[in-house]
């Protein structure tokens, strides 16, 4: 179907069109993820372009930063081009030297490890807890050596790591605590927002996250002593930010750094997304809860484990995962949903035994058996704000039509 040529740019900014894939059942396909378009998103993008301020640190960047600081209660937020780049900034700010060690989970995205490996540091991979799939806090102390400089936690699915224990260990050994909070925007641990625990935390606004601008991220700084240098690193190692504030009369090369600031056009997208955050979250929680309640009986009958959220954690409905008894069940389940036009996805492959993990890092003694086991059995269901009630019902019905056969456990 040909789309009509719109009369004005704002009409062009009408509802987005997505390719609708029709399944053999005549129903449209339900993708694993579809990025939500926030109410003011296209208007703000147009405004940013018309402002003539399309490079970084313009008016929309200031607004997005303020909204982000409000949600995370972080000391200071800086928008970045990605969570990957925010993690790279943490590695530069830590002044890591080749051979320094950084303890992190094996069950995470590659960027968590890459950022430190790029500075010559050694990622030391710890196993995860069987319940939350977060780094097992009982393994952290044993992973510390003379070369350990930092611990990086990842709040999987936005369910907090055991921050009390990990925070105390970092304090006792003088280690930096970093939160890779890519999943955790809007999550809480004991009533406190995720991203406010580490001296630094990172956010992702990649298309797959709850708040997205295609590609984007942020660095949260809870240690005021890091702010001035972070600003320089983010601006190619120059004091350009101070120059624009009129604090210096020319800007110069001060430190190492890179181009870590996003265009104000992307920040405009982000402002609209952050303004819509409460409604997006309400919708995501409603979907998460329907899955959780309506799949309880089926999960029990089939030996499938639903997500476990400890009492002191409030999760942000970032993802809904299921753990099957074995890899073969997981694979046939993904195929079963695909036949019904529903996208489901597995998740992280362990880093400790990945080619680059073996080359640049190492696992703690004892390895990461829980990670290896869970990675092969985990699957994520579609979860995005524009999934309507009928779609959710279709997913639930399709899931319940799957029976785990010949299982061992």
Ligand X SMILES: *Cc1c(COP(=O)(O)O)cnc(C)c1O
* Binding positions for ligand X, rule: CB under 6 A: 82-84, 108-109, 111-112, 154, 180, 182-183, 204, 206, 217
CB of 244 to ligand X, least distance (A): 26
CB of 184 to ligand X, least distance (A): 9
CB of 283 to ligand X, least distance (A): 20
Order the strands of the 192-193 sheet from edge to edge: 192-193, 188-189, 313-314
Return d(Cα 81, Cα 74) in angstroms, integer: 19
CB of 124 to ligand X, least distance (A): 17
Instruction: Tell me whether residue 121 or residue 295 sits nearer to ligand X (CB atom).
Output: 121
Return d(Cα 201, Cα 220) in angstroms, integer: 5
Instruction: Tell me whether residue 149 or residue 380 sits nearer to ligand X (CB atom).
Output: 380
CB of 203 to ligand X, least distance (A): 8
Contact 181, 163 (CB under 8 A): no
Distances (CA, A) of 214 to 86, 238, 272, 317: 16, 27, 13, 19
Q: For the CA atoms of the chain, what is the radius of gyration?
A: 22
| 28: DSSP letter | B
| 362: DSSP letter | E
Phi, psi of 83, rounded to the nearest 5 degrees = -70, -35
Contact 379, 324 (CB under 8 A): yes
Nearest to 150 by CA among 234, 193, 91: 91
Six token digits for residue 396: 């639930």
Non-local CB neighbours of 331 within 8 Å, separated by 6+ positions: none
Instruction: Tell me whether residue 183 or residue 315 sits nearer to ligand X (CB atom).
Output: 183
Instruction: Tell me whether residue 82 or residue 371 sits nearer to ligand X (CB atom).
Output: 82
Phi, psi of 45, rounded to the nearest 5 degrees = -60, -45
Instruction: Tell me whether residue 72 or residue 302 sits nearer to ligand X (CB atom).
Output: 72
CB of 390 to ligand X, least distance (A): 29
CB of 126 to ligand X, least distance (A): 15
Return d(Cα 298, Cα 305) in angstroms, integer: 10
Return d(Cα 74, Cα 68) in angstroms, integer: 8
Q: How many CB atoms lie within 10 A of CB 17?
A: 8
Instruction: Tell me whether residue 151 or residue 404 sits nearer to ligand X (CB atom).
Output: 151
CB of 215 to ligand X, least distance (A): 6
Instruction: Tell me whether residue 217 or residue 257 sits nearer to ligand X (CB atom).
Output: 217
CB of 266 to ligand X, least distance (A): 12
Distances (CA, A) of 198 to 51, 65, 90, 166: 36, 18, 11, 10
CB of 86 to ligand X, least distance (A): 8
Return d(Cα 102, Cα 86) in angstroms, integer: 16
Instruction: Tell me whether residue 183 or residue 340 sits nearer to ligand X (CB atom).
Output: 183
Instruction: Tell me whether residue 61 or residue 108 sits nearer to ligand X (CB atom).
Output: 108
Q: Where do the DSSP E strands lie in 260-301? A: none
Instruction: Tell me whether residue 16 or residue 214 sits nearer to ligand X (CB atom).
Output: 214
């Amino acid at each position: 179907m040909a789309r009509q040529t719109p009369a004005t740019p704002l009409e062009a900014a009408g509802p987005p069109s997505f390719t609708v894939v029709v399944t053999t059942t005549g129903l449209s396909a339900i993708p694993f993820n579809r990025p939500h378009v926030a109410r003011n998103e296209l208007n703000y993008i147009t405004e940013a372009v018309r402002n003539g301020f399309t490079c970084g640190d313009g008016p929309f960047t200031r607004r997005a930063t303020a909204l982000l600081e409000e949600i995370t209660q972080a000391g200071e937020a800086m928008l970045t081009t990605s969570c990957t780049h925010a993690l790279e900034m943490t590695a530069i700010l830590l002044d890591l030297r080749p051979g320094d060690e950084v303890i992190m989970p094996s069950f995470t995205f590659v960027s968590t490890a890459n950022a430190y490996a790029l500075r010559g540091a050694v990622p030391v991979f710890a196993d995860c807890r069987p319940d939350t799939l977060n780094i097992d806090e009982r393994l952290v102390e044993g992973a510390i050596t003379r070369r350990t400089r930092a611990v990086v936690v990842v709040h999987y699915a936005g369910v907090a790591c055991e921050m009390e224990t990990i925070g105390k260990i970092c304090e006792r050994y003088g280690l930096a605590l970093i939160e890779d909070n890519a999943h955790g925007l809007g999550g809480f641990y004991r009533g406190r927002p995720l991203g406010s625990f580490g001296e630094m935390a990172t956010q992702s606004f990649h298309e797959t996250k709850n708040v997205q601008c295609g590609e984007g991220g942020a660095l949260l700084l809870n240690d005021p002593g890091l702010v001035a240098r972070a600003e320089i690193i983010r601006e190619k190692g120059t004091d350009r930010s101070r120059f624009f504030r009129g604090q210096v009369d020319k800007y110069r090369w001060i430190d190492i750094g890179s181009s870590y600031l996003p265009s104000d056009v992307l920040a405009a997208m982000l402002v609209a997304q952050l303004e819509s955050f409460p409604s997006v979250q309400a919708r995501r929680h409603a979907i998460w809860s329907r899955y959780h309640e309506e799949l309880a009986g089926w999960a029990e009958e089939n030996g499938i484990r639903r997500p476990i959220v400890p009492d002191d954690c409030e999760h942000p409905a970032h993802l809904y995962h299921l753990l099957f008894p074995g890899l073969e069940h997981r694979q046939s389940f993904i195929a079963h949903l695909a036949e019904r036009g529903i996208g489901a996805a597995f998740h992280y492959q362990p880093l400790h035994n990945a080619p680059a993990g073996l080359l640049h890092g190492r696992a703690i003694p004892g390895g990461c058996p829980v990670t290896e086991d869970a990675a092969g059995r985990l699957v994520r269901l579609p979860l995005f704000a524009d999934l309507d009630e009928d779609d959710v019902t279709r997913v639930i019905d399709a899931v319940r039509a799957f029976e785990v056969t010949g299982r061992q456990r």
